[in-house]
Amino acid sequence: MPAIDHDQILHARWLIAEATTAPLENHALVVKNGLIAAILPSADANTQYPDLPATSLSSHALLPGLINTHTHIGMSYFRGLADDLALMEWLNQHIWPAEKKWVSHEFVRDASLFAMAEMIRAGTTTFNDMYFFLQATAEAAEISGMRAHIGMTIMEFPTAWAQNADEYFARGMEFFEQYKHHPRITPTFAPHAPYTVSDDSFIKIKEIADKHDIKINLHLHETQDEVDQSLKQFNKRPIRRLHDLGFISDRLIAIHMTALDAEDFAILAETRPAIVHCPESNMKLASGACPVEQLHSLGLTVALGTDSVASNNNLDMLSEMRAATLLAKLSSRNPQVLPAAATLQLATLNGAKALGMDKIIGSLAVGKAADCIAINLDAIETLPLYHPVSQLVYAAGRDQITDVWVAGKQLLKHGKLTTLDEIELKERARYWQQKIMVKSHSTVA
Ligand SMILES: [Zn+2]
């Protein structure tokens, strides 16, 4: 039978089927209909599938696509706009005013395409976003071929996207109805934070999410300041307040999670949300450190996200992994915490679990989607090579990622984007930069 579109064999020097299992040497991944049809020694693949086109990745590791579990990709053009500030000053004085002026369907679509180019080049195949103008991000995902979870932002104050909570709900649900059956795009809820969302809205979100089985993203315990403000306003810490509303459950994806006390840990152990750790954003804004090891010891799923490029300033999951493990070791004063394989797990299978997608992505297994990436380890930067996973987490750079596939479709081939035009994307970035610079200089003192 002739091979259909995207059916192929990928021969790899090392095949890392799952972050915490030993790499298989000289193995092949067989892709059929966008799914993984077999994983077997390369020699056997050639004899069993003689009709399929084959790609040789003779000095590469082939591994599951990286999952960036927290992004705001519509903010791409704010990279480097305001650095070296604390969270609330950064938001109030710089990011929110810039968003008010610039964010539109066209802006978010362009910024999303630009971010997807950066993500694909860095080996990310799935991202979990929260922003505004959701259809613009979805349109970009249709073009790029990436797998996208797109959050329906809910907050109480007006933006270019909606004027009040009712309008955020209406616009969110319109998006949900439009994309709920899409094969690669999944709508989620994304209430912004405890300090921007009312009790009534949290209750309503939980009701709708339970009814339609929707995941809920929330920035939670980003800083000690957030906890202090909540104690002043509600006489409760944020986690206690949300728990009393019945909001915290395994449906929740709780993002950041610093400044946790014993009662917080007890509530989390009982309610079992997934946690997203964003170490580079937390370090850059001096927000705090997420206690990854303690959360793991409670049996909770911890995944990894970059947050936006305005607070990171990149969408590089290799560097995020390195930051996660180094920060975990330093903050616990224990070098054995978050070893390389467990760190890669944060960026792969744990991301899939947090999104409720671990039957489909997060590891390379027969029947799962062929979402995978190849990284060339035969480089000055990663030789000598004793342990491929160690090199990936501690030494490799994103420029060593050569090939990326989502559902068997190749999005990066020998380092070149196949679905996006790099020259055009750079032109659009310069176009928006000019507009933002002129306006910023005339209005932001
Ligand atoms: Zn965020």
Domain limits of the chain?
Answer: 8-64+369-414, 66-354
The CATH homologous superfamily of the domain defined by 8-64+369-414: Urease, subunit C, domain 1 (2.30.40.10)
Query: Ligand 1 centre and the CA of 310: distance in Å?
Result: 10
pLDDT digits 0-9 by tens, 276-331:
999 999 999 999 999 999 999 999 999 999 999 999 999 999 999 999 999 999 99
* Global pTM value: 0.96
pLDDT of residue 244: 98
Regions in the chain scoring below 70 on pLDDT: 1-4, 438-445
Which residues pair with residue 218 across a beta bridge?
254
Query: Ligand 1 centre and the CA of 154: distance in Å?
Result: 13
Query: Ligand 1 centre and the CA of 251: distance in Å?
Result: 18
Query: Ligand 1 centre and the CA of 57: distance in Å?
Result: 36
Buried b (16+ CB within 10 A) or exposed e, 262-276: eebbebbeebebbbb
Query: Ligand 1 centre and the CA of 192: distance in Å?
Result: 8
Cβ burial of 142 (10 Å; 0-12, 13-18, 19+) is: middle
Kindly report the length of the chain. Answer: 445
Query: Ligand 1 centre and the CA of 216: distance in Å?
Result: 13
What is the Cα–Cα distance from 125 to 34, expressed in whole angstroms?
A: 14
The string of DSSP letters for 39-101 reads EEEHHHHHHH-TTS-EEEEEEEEEEEPEEEEEE-GGGGGGTTSS-S--HHHIIIIIIHHHHHH
What is the Cα–Cα distance from 180 to 184, expressed in whole angstroms?
A: 10
Query: Ligand 1 centre and the CA of 8: distance in Å?
Result: 37
Query: Ligand 1 centre and the CA of 65: distance in Å?
Result: 21
Fold classified for 66-354? TIM Barrel (3.20.20)
pLDDT digits 0-9 by tens, 127-137:
999 999 999 99
Query: Ligand 1 centre and the CA of 335: distance in Å?
Result: 28
Query: Ligand 1 centre and the CA of 239: distance in Å?
Result: 17
pLDDT of residue 440: 54
